[in-house]
Amino acid sequence: MSNLLHDPFVQSSVLPLLLGLVAVGVLHRLAPGRLLAVAGIGATFLAVFALVVGVPALPPPSSMGKVFWSVAGGFVLGVVADAVGVKGRAGSLLAAAWLAASLVWIALPALDTPVAFATLLVLLLVGACVVFGRTGSDDGQRGNAVAPAAVLLALALAVGGTALIGSSASIAQMALALAAATGGFLLWNWPVERHGWGVSGRVASGIAVLLAGVLALFTQTEAAVLLLALPALLAERVGRRLPLPDSGLGRAAGGAVVTVLTVLPALIAIGVAYLLGGAEASPY
């Protein structure tokens, strides 16, 4: 069992998927309303981080340590905001402030070249698109989480795959664990969308941006290929334009189609990263 838990493949796929399913399920049972369940993604990310990388010291000496404590802070912020009913633009602004502060904190040691400043600017812009992205109705009265969860799935997969090819294993593991936890959340919302996205959901989306920041600023990975995954941000618009009937079957099919279409740009980004990396298949 212990060996299984230390297997990198299990740590970044099966384990976070199961933990995500359980965490979302527990929050679904315990918390009133539909918004808090998505906090299961952040909780799973933190648990897997503690297992794979360890709980970093405070104050954290490295960028990955800053990611952990930023996510921990964002998790608390999201849960509290959703519990007290912060919604709409106020919720987006709260998540945006958290994400911007976290990105700047993480990026500070690397801001020694114009390229690094430009990278931070791009990350802030993408972060703004992620947290202010449309999620359909945000009133928590009916489920609207598939499109933003599909975006998070795509971004996390893109970061994880690119990091894996770029020889940054712990970033890859954590991003793939984030994708798997999001998969667990998506399973709870298919074929029927049960949950909202709320501030906790926007914070969860921000985790992918934070990992992309570490990848772009502190490794030699070709992180620019991640820009190819950005069409995934159009998931909600794609979902609204699908010519499907407004029935249970139609909505179930819509959720599946949106998820598949949203993941495609991420796969393209990973493919390009693979080609740029010399298409080297064997590890070392």
Examine residue 3 and tell whether it contacts another protein (CB under 8 A): no
Output the DSSP codes for 139-183.
SSSS---HHHHHHHHHHHHHHHHHHHHTT-HHHHHHHHHHHHHHH
Identified binder of another protein from the candidate list 98, 197, 218, 274, rule CB under 8 A: 218
Cβ at position 262, least distance to another protein in Å: 28
The alpha carbon of residue 40 and the mean position of all alpha carbons in its chain are separated, in whole angstroms, by 12
- Give the relative orientation of helices 88-107 and 198-218 as an angle to the nearest 10 degrees: 20
Check binding of 153 to another protein (CB under 8 A).
no
54 contacts another protein (rule: CB under 8 A) = yes
Site string for another protein, 96-125 (x = CB under 8 A): -------------xx---------------
49/3 Cα distance (integer angstroms)? 17
107, 116 contact by CB (below 8 A): yes
Rule CB under 8 A: say whether 170 interacts with another protein.
yes
Cα separation, 132 vs 150, in Å, equals: 15
Selected from 53, 76, 104, 244, the binder of another protein by CB under 8 A is 53
Per-residue DSSP letter, 56: P
Question: What x/- string results for residues 171 through 210 when contact with another protein is judged by CB under 8 A?
Answer: x---------------------------------------
Report the residue from 10, 46, 134, 219 that binds another protein according to the rule CB under 8 A: 219
Binding site for another protein (CB under 8 A): 53-54, 57, 61-64, 109-110, 166-171, 214, 217-220, 280, 284
